A and B are shown apart, each in its own frame.
Chain A
């Protein structure tokens, strides 16, 4: 929690020593649903933190409480020391928010979208125009300034939303599932830009259910499920601690394989028609499997964040 990545921090943010975000015991309860049940965490200036969780885990609700969309039922959240409930306008001035859903103005062209958005922040039109060009260039949209939003592809819209979120020069960028529904090229285009932004020292809070996205972008991940934080740490640390180095996946197997491996070389999980073996010594485990069941379908691979995630949040469907 305290491994502040000062190497990313902008001079002003890193030197102030004040955390970018502090949430303590955030709770959000609806009539029947207890969406968030006591979430506490800190984000250091310049850090990129990812919230991972299955659908309905409470990650978006948590992020929406921090960005002043939803009042917490109890608990507090501060952004650079400013309380989200006491001074929401000041908090939102410091945030750049990329929502899950496209909420660009379909009646305006690309540039007009930025101009109108800048007005909400009280940024004068000339200044917005000055800032818009480099932002559109960064997002590879400079030729689209006069295009209607409806003519943009899904990836372009997402990049425009990102450009819009940067218009007020935010200290904290909030990305709520920034690449959901995008094709691989568009996804990598977003990742490249987020990494570039991270190098400028902006603090990033992102939610995702793509493990690769979290591993690619985040200094630290927080795994959240059923409204509570299950785990947190750097992606590598979590994989090492929770799963180990490698995983052997086994399929097309008979019941004897299950029996044999169960008292064997590591923890075994049976999910549907597949076995997951987390070996203490991978060579020994492969050797054992080979010798007892020659020709058995198997795959030895590196353990990933996805294994951590599925192990801790279960493999059952959530919706």
Chain B
């Protein structure tokens, strides 16, 4: 670990820059999903489910279902964009395109490459959630200026899920094995982390599980920012996301280095 820390350098930004260059080369298709995703969710879930569920009681306030759900959509996006970027996309760069090999033929070290990927996953979460924040704001679902907190929350949450994604990338033998973390972690979080319904309607045991999930804490933070209201768990959630984020980020450096250097 000490060696890894010593080998980290600003050159990792060159890797981030490369990934960003690709992203902006194909920006027309890359910008579309974060623009459309919230609209689809809002219309599908919000208008459809909203017919059945009229009001939601959240932290002593009564909200429309749409207002309750919108921050959940953002939180899910933070998870999805970082996770997909650092699993499927990183794997394609590593295994199919041999991009990492090409970079390692230059003065960059393997640590720079992994940190670059980690940072790019994080930045991608930030870009996507910023675009979505704009869309949700246009629909009148964001409280300003507290809504701006979504950006740093996306940074921390993006790092967390990028670290998680890269750990999975260090472990899989084929690209289809990403289905395992997908169904074991990502989809359960998508549903049970207080994203689309309030946590307190869960039975006790499920609630206990939910509190362990990172997305639960990211959702609390995003919802507080977007609705402009506090939450008793805020300090815990901030600490959780920062500590687990840094921890998974560091762990992913160790695991990926092992995978890349044999």
Query: Which residues of A are in contact with B by a Cβ distance under 8 Å?
Result: 30, 67-71, 88-90, 92-93, 95, 97, 99, 101-108, 112, 116-117, 119-122, 165, 168
Contacts and interface: CB of A to CB of B under 8 A. Distances in A.
Contacts of A92: 105-107
6 contacts: A71-B261, A88-B109, A102-B98, A103-B102, A105-B97, A120-B106
Given A70-B262, A71-B261, A102-B98, A95 B22 contact: no
B259 to A, nearest CB: 13
A120 B22 contact: no
Nearest to B100: A103
Interface in B2-27: 11, 14, 17-18, 21-22, 25-26
Given A120-B107, A122-B107, A104 B262 contact: no
B6 to A, nearest CB: 12
B95 to A, nearest CB: 11
B102 A108 contact: no
Given A70-B261, A99-B98, A121 B107 contact: yes
Q: Which 5 A-B pairs have the closest CB atoms?
A: A103-B98, A120-B106, A97-B105, A103-B102, A89-B107
Nearest to A91: B107
A107 B101 CA distance: 16
B102 A119 contact: no
B25 A93 contact: no
Contacts of B170: none
Given A103-B99, A107-B25, A108-B25, A119 B105 contact: no
B103 interface: yes
Interface string B151-176: 00000000000000000000000000
A115 to B, nearest CB: 9
Given A30-B262, A119-B14, A120-B11, A69 B104 contact: yes
Interface in B124-175: none
A104 B101 CA distance: 10
A99 B100 CA distance: 12
Nearest to B17: A119
B111 to A, nearest CB: 11
A120 B262 contact: no
B108 interface: yes
Interface residues on B, range: 20 to 34
Nearest to A71: B261
A93 B14 contact: no
Contacts of B99: 103, 105
B105 to A, nearest CB: 4
Nearest to B96: A106
A134 B202 CA distance: 68
B8 to A, nearest CB: 13
B153 to A, nearest CB: 30
A172 to B, nearest CB: 12
B103 A120 contact: yes
Contact of B22 (A69, A88, A108, A168): A108
A88 B108 CA distance: 9
A112 B17 CA distance: 13
Contacts of A71: 261
A105 B101 CA distance: 11
B262 A105 contact: no
Contacts of A122: 11, 107
Interface in B156-213: none
A90 B108 CA distance: 10
A165 B99 CA distance: 15
Contacts of B98: 99, 101-103
A106 B105 contact: no
Nearest to B106: A120
B25 A117 contact: no
Nearest to B18: A116
B261 to A, nearest CB: 7
Contact of A103 (B14, B21, B97, B108): B97
